[in-house]
Structure formats: C-alpha cells, structure tokens
Structure 1
Amino acid sequence: MRYNTICTVALILLVSMGSAWGAGAVLGLLAKPKVMDTNATPDDALPAFLPYTERDDGSSSVIRAGEPVTIRLYENPAAGYRWTVTPSSGFRVIGDYFISADPAGSVTDAGGWRHITMIPELPGTGSVTAVYKRPWEPDTGSGRGYALSFTIR
C-alpha cells in the first residue's frame, strides 16, 4: 500500500508540473512486476497490469479479460519509423501515445517509446503483432516484427 501511495503522489506532482515524460516514467513504476507468487492459486497469480517490451517478443502470457495490457516499444519517428500494431479481434485499443527520450527537444533525431494500451474484452485466446517500418513503404515482410500471444481468463 505504501508503494502505491508514494507512486501516486509522485505521479500527481509530475503531472501538475506538466512533465509528460516524468509521468510516463512513474506510470511504468506503478506496473506490477511479472513475478508469480508460488503460494497463489492460478487465478490469484495473474498480474493486473502487464507492461510488455521488446524483450517479451514471441512470449505467451495468461491475462484477465477486462484488465489493461500495455506494450512499450522503442521507435524513432523522426527517421520515419513507427510501430504498426495489430491486435486480434477481442482487444480494444484504449491508448496509443509516444514519449520522447528527449522531452526537452534538444536532440533533433531523438527516438522514444510508443505505448499501446488495450483491453481484452472476452475470455479465450488472442494475439498482438506489430511491424516496425515507415508507413509509406510497402510491406515486404522484411521489417522488424513483434508478436505476443495470450490466454485470456
């Protein structure tokens, strides 16, 4: 409880100061780690919030219907590259935003992180795929890819 209170206060302070980058960093701190309690039942062990990154590419997870799932991927829109994310049916995208690695704007070609948040609406199976490419270039299948699969309870 103390951890969440500290993070909440920090988030309020950063947002009130107008720091979108700092607020995103604190939101990342609020994410529960992907650690399972060995004494928990299978349903208790499901984390409520799962931030996925490049290191989770190709993984499978068990998640709960109705609880948000966030994917955070590095991209460099200044060079024209962007992640095109395609969730399977049953996922509703509720957020898609970019946080620059250089919030002050002092670096011309600074990349950053694309955050895509979605909610699995029904139990079953689902997946999310993404391709990192320039939107105006044809999809040749040679672009960098990303994939996750889910069992939704």
Structure 2
Amino acid sequence: MSELTLAQADNGKSFAVRPGDAIAIRLPENPTTGYQWAIDQTNSEIIELLESVFSPGSETAIGSGGVRIVRFRAKTPGTVQIRLKKWRSWQGDSSIVERFEVTIQVRE
C-alpha cells in the first residue's frame, strides 16, 4: 500500500491507484482569511475520507498560512472525481475563490 501525494500543480490531472492506497491532497490555506478548503464532490463507495486537517506552516507569526491536508483511502475499483472548493462556508457557494479537481481511477 502506498500514498499518492497531490498538490496544486496536479489540478485537472488523472491518477491511478490500487485498493488500499492512500491519496493525500496538500493545498495552501490561510484560515485567518476565513477561506478554507472543503470537499465539493467525491464518491464514498469508491474512496473514503480519512481526514481533513490544517497544518500550520513554518512561519509562526499570527495570521500565517499553512497547508490543508485532505486524505482519502481507495476502497473499490472505479473512477471518481475529487472536487474541492476554497470558500467561506457561512457565505455559501458565491464565496468560492478557487477550485481543485482530480480524477482517481482505482484499479485492481
């Protein structure tokens, strides 16, 4: 079992994994702005969400940004699109400022 790590540069790409493999998406985020990455679309029958955590950067000043890490595990064969949106949840979809999307093919 391995882990596929994706970043902003992977937006729009497709990747193949095997059942049991982990998928980690690492995107820059600064929660003090109110904008946070959230899952917009996935398929929990093919992949399961393991966690979504914020990891502060090396800069320790108040208001500094870091990285949002969203981790999934591939469950069963199939194709799924993972879509994330950077938004202010209390303002709804009109506040989306950025999107991230990848296609994951889970193969035996």
TM-score (norm 1): 0.63
Partner of 2:55: 99
Question: Structure 1 unaligned runs (5+)?
Answer: 1-46
Quick check: which has more Rg, 1 or 2? 1
Partner of 2:23: 69
Q: Percent identity?
A: 26
Correspondent of 1:88 among 43, 51, 62: 43
Higher strand share: 2
Distance 1:102 1:138 in 2: 31
Between the two proteins, the alignment pairs up a number of residues equal to: 105
Distance 1:114 1:123 in 2: 27
2:62 partner SS: coil
Q: Check the 8 A contact 2:4/2:21 in 1, yes or no.
A: no
Q: CA deviation at 1:119?
A: 0.7
**Structure with greater contact order relative to length (CA < 8 Å, sep ≥ 6):** 2
Question: Structure 2 unaligned runs (5+)?
Answer: none
Q: Which 4+ stretches in 1 moved above 6 angstroms? A: none
Q: Check the 8 A contact 2:18/2:74 in 1, yes or no.
A: yes
Give RMSD over aligned pairs. 1.8
